Amino acid sequence: MRIECIAIGTELLTTRRLDTNSVWIAERLAELGLALHRKTAVGDDRADLKALVEEALRRSDVILCTGGLGPTFDDFTKEVFAEALGSELVEDAQCRAELEAWYAARNRVPSANNYKQVLIPAGAEPLRNPLGSAPGVWWRDPAGFPGRRIVLMPGVPREMKRMWADHVQPRLAALAGAPVHTLRMVVGGVPESTLDERTGPVRKKHCDLEWTILASLTHVEFVVRSGDAAALEAARADLAAELGPDLVCTGSGDLESTVLAMLKARGETLAVAESMSGGLLAARLTAIPGASEAFLGGAVVYSAGAKTQLAAVDPAVLAAHGTISEQTTEALATGIRARLGATWGLAITGNAGPSVDPQGDVERANPVGTCLIAIAGPGGVESRRFVVPGDRPDVQLRAAGWSLDWLRRRLV
Amino acid sequence: MRIECIAIGTELLTTRRLDTNSVWIAERLAELGLALHRKTAVGDDRADLKALVEEALRRSDVILCTGGLGPTFDDFTKEVFAEALGSELVEDAQCRAELEAWYAARNRVPSANNYKQVLIPAGAEPLRNPLGSAPGVWWRDPAGFPGRRIVLMPGVPREMKRMWADHVQPRLAALAGAPVHTLRMVVGGVPESTLDERTGPVRKKHCDLEWTILASLTHVEFVVRSGDAAALEAARADLAAELGPDLVCTGSGDLESTVLAMLKARGETLAVAESMSGGLLAARLTAIPGASEAFLGGAVVYSAGAKTQLAAVDPAVLAAHGTISEQTTEALATGIRARLGATWGLAITGNAGPSVDPQGDVERANPVGTCLIAIAGPGGVESRRFVVPGDRPDVQLRAAGWSLDWLRRRLV
């Protein structure tokens, strides 16, 4: 069975957006044991899209499209498919009702062009979009193309992913062969190249499985696939043994959800004080549903006043050692822990750049990339200093991730 | 002139790896004022590639390929193009000498299949690859396809980029017309569909320009392109007049950088207290270099204790009105403003979900998606309540963006 993805949007052909949707879809297809044969990105141009759709209808059994379902002048995916298949667009009563309910729930009324979104090609089936106003389309055996499946989904990743889970995955699963099992393991605090070497023997021993290593700024992810669940379990056990405490979690979790779950299991709480990371650590923790069960809150101490007022840092410590110092970072961790009555206090200071005054004392002692992290807990307070590569967002993200991984190792 | 990219490699279809080559190439083309019309990723499959090459030859003037130039069995890009164009592969003496020199420099001898790499289609020109063993190909006006340019480059990004700079960029520059100018305008606080309607007349008046609308959760972006700088300026003026105070900025900025710049220009400062958004607003502000010149910091008040301890909220107010209330949100804004001595205090509370207790009093009064934002300033404090769609991260992001846009409108 030949499957292709089509991503629609001029922004995908400029440097403004990467087509991450088709990469995500390729992953989901692989989980179903289905292969993607081609993926194409095309601009918001009727003629270009029409030509591509006509080719795709000739060569592929399943066509998975993202984008061009919105209300604006440059959204015409449904129109183009209807044209290519000689079908009419017909208003779907339920879609219309849901559109109006969607707007009513937000105390707004649809504008005229929103109603374009409730037009569905005759013979096709609308797919509900609980996260947006544009329904998708599932079109099976269109006239003249028996056996074809056409799937039109929104380009907004969160809407596409939800629609995939609710409607597309179950329909494609019916077409899939034997299921492919996927194992995901997240590793913290170890560089990819080191992991690559350390896990070489395990991967060699289980070389009949499909291995992928995905590195990010805060962690490394192993994704292993096989049709043989027992072989996958054997690989998991060997990899877990090799990784030891470096293994953050197995399955769908991440560093944040793992630390929050560990704290919750221990009946402990966390408070943070962030200077250089500016709230990023708190934001990543509170992105996890139920974070409030273990995370009490924190302070973004972007000024001297904030450090003394919110995290109870002694002005004398600040004056004596400066912001980017072990002493101030430890005082922040201790201060926010006491202020919020938390089991653990985590603090981050440093220099994320860009370099403002390379000749200045501060930068000579604390070059761009300098991270100081401190953990205050029942056993007292300690701090670490390290320098990481990358630009401002990289440094902030690494500091947030590494501080969290350090706390995780304390909780193991 | 129609240009397309073809990325060749099964890994582009099976792993989470993004085809970054074609994004980099799109950027270089834009610098030359050349537009990319389509990009396709295809696996290491002869039949698939042949079909794609034959289509591309029919529809595009310039075909830019990456990958499939290596020595192994699954590298056959040159072979497939030669087949499609009825041309022979001929050994290139200089390429052979360079290949042998390349290996000699590494104290190695080429294996038999390495010599495959020095075969160049008759009528095409080899492109040197100082960083690898695979030469590229520049093929102009192949028999039967006058006016076509075919460029075959290695898939290894480092090698491709060097080859582009040395050989491809100068050749394409000769084809480039006048540079294309780009106008970018960011709009806050107006739904995409409303903007689409409102700006319809302006786009109609300037329909000779290339218009793109990019919607995100916190703002909408207009990207307009033209070779005619004066026409673009006229469109900018008309769009700015239509948008009025809804226009956040023109050029490369965003909501965060705009608000920080306005505050700095006025010599004013900002402090935030975030409950529902959990530090996201602070993180977005501190992602901007130099944020500390106007942003003093804030509190992530994810617990009652944090609200009273960090933002000086009167426990009686919390007890009487609860967390998700106008009174508590205004108390947070007033409290953090006073605590940090800021000109402006911005507070966010609400219910980002997921729904925990739909029958509970709190959720009946404050359904998932409820956002309360308050601004405390020299003129006093005021608050707003609204409900937004989406899942947890969406609601948090919208709340952060909308609160910032409200402050921006106060500063205009």
Beta bridge mates, A121: A89
Q: How far is CA B401 from CA A402, B106, B190, B380, B398, in A?
A: 27, 56, 12, 22, 5
Please indicate if any CB of chain A lies within 8 Å of the CB of B388: yes
Query: Residue A276's pLDDT is what?
Result: 96
Asked if omega into B354 is within 30° of 0 (cis), the reply is yes
Choose among A34, A148, A10: nearest CA to A137.
Answer: A148
pLDDT band (50, 70, 90) for residue A323: very high
**Chain A residues lying within 8 Å of B44, measured CB to CB:** none
Tell me, yes or no, if A392 comes closer than 8 A to chain B by beta carbon. Answer: yes
- Give the pLDDT confidence of B50-81 residue by residue, as tens digits: 999 999 999 999 999 999 998 877 889 999 99
User: B176 pLDDT band (50/70/90 cuts)?
Assistant: confident
CB < 8 Å from A in window 46-105 of B? 48, 51-52, 55, 59
Interface A-B, measured as beta-carbon pairs within 8 A, has a size of: 265
A7: exposed, middle or buried (Cβ count in 10 Å: 0-12, 13-18, 19+): buried
- The confidence score (pLDDT) of residue B114 equals 86
User: What pLDDT score was predicted for residue B360?
Assistant: 67
Helices (H), A219-301: 229-243, 255-266, 280-286
B350 interfaces chain A, CB cutoff of 8 Å: no
* Concatenated DSSP letters of B36-87: --EEEEE-S-HHHHHHHHHHHHHH-SEEEEES--SSSTT--HHHHHHHHTT-
Given a cut of 70, is residue A319 above it in pLDDT? yes
Structure confidence at residue B16 (pLDDT): 55
Considering the entire predicted model, what is its pTM?
0.79
Interchain contact B282–A (C-beta under 8 A) = yes
Which residue in chain B is spatially nearest to A303 when comparing CA positions? Answer: B296
- A337 residue type, one letter: R
- Cβ under 8 Å to B: A residues 170-209: none
Of the two residues A196 and B397, the one the predictor is more confident about is B397
pLDDT of residue B358: 58
pLDDT exceeds cutoff 60 at B32:
yes
**What integer pLDDT is reported at residue B333 of this predicted model?**
98
Mean pLDDT of A246-258: 96
What average pLDDT does range A165-193 have in this prediction?
Answer: 88
**Residue A116 scores a pLDDT above 80:** yes
The answer, for A31 touching chain B at a CB cutoff of 8 Å, is no
User: Is B45–A23 a contact, with Cβ atoms under 8 angstroms apart?
Assistant: no
Mean pLDDT, residues B178-197 taken together:
88
How close is the nearest chain B Cα to the Cα of A123, in Å?
27
Is the model's pLDDT at B15 over the cut of 70? Answer: no
Q: What backbone torsions phi and psi does residue B272 show, to the nearest 5 degrees?
A: -125, 150
Model confidence over A388-403: pLDDT tens digits? Answer: 877 898 899 999 999 9
Class of domain A255-411: alpha beta
Q: Which amino acid is at A41?
A: A
The pLDDT confidence band at residue B33, using thresholds 50, 70 and 90, is: confident
Greater confidence (B338 vs A156) lies with: B338
| Test the A interface: residue of B5, B10, B13 with most A CBs within 10 Å | B13
Residues of chain A contacting residue B10, judged by C-beta atoms under 8 Å apart: none
pLDDT at A360: 67
Contact status of B268 with chain A (Cβ, < 8 Å): no
Find, in chain B, the residue whose alpha carbon is nearest to that of A310: B310
Task: Judge: B310–A48 Cβ closer than 8 Å, yes or no.
Answer: no
Cα separation, A355 vs B102, in Å, equals 40
Question: What is the pLDDT of chain B when averaged over all its residues?
Answer: 92
The mean pLDDT value for B235-250 works out to: 97
Class of domain A3-175: alpha beta
The residue-averaged pLDDT of B4-9 equals: 94
Q: Where exactly does CATH 3.90.950.20 map onto chain B? A: 255-411
Does B26 contact A15 at a Cβ distance shorter than 8 Å? yes
Residue B204 CB neighbours (<10 A): 9
CATH 3.40.980.10, chain B: domain bounds: 3-175
Give the 3-state secondary structure of residue A261. helix
As a whole number, the mean pLDDT across chain A is 92
For the stretch B88-112, pLDDT in tens is 999 999 999 999 998 888 888 888 8
Is A300's CB within 8 Å of B272's CB?
yes
Q: Say whether residue A136 is in contact with chain B using an 8 A CB cutoff.
A: no
Query: Tokens for B99?
Result: 């290949």
pLDDT in tens, B130-140: 888 899 999 99
Beta-carbon separation of A339 and B192 below 8 A: no
Predicted pLDDT at A17? 60
pLDDT tens readout for residues A328-384: 999 999 999 999 999 999 999 999 988 766 566 677 789 999 999 999 999 999 999
- What value does the mean pLDDT take over residues B177-191? 87
- Sequence ranges of chain B with CATH classification 3.30.70.2860: 181-250
Residues ≥6 apart with Cβ < 8 Å to B13: A26, A35, A36, A37, A38, A39, B41, B42, B43
Q: Testing the interface with B: which of A302, A308, A349, A394 to mutate, by most B Cβ within 10 A? A: A302
Q: Per-residue pLDDT tens for B305-331? A: 999 999 999 999 999 999 999 999 999
A387: distance to nearest CA of chain B, Å? 19
H or E element that contains B308: helix B304-311
* CA–CA gap between residue A104 and residue B103 (Å, rounded): 70
Q: What are phi and psi of A136, to 5 degrees?
A: -95, -175
Q: Is A150 or B210 the better-scoring residue by pLDDT? A: A150
Which among A74, A102, A305 has CB closest to B213?
Answer: A74
CB atoms within 10 A of CB B93: 9
* Cβ neighbours of residue A255 closer than 8 Å, sequence gap 6 or more: A186, A188, A218, A219, A248, A401, A404, A405, A408
Q: Given this structure, which CATH class describes domain A181-250? A: alpha beta
User: Which chain A positions have a beta carbon within 8 Å of B272's beta carbon?
Assistant: 300
Establish whether this prediction's ipTM goes over 0.90. no
Chain B residues within an 8 Å CB radius of A111: 193-194, 196-197
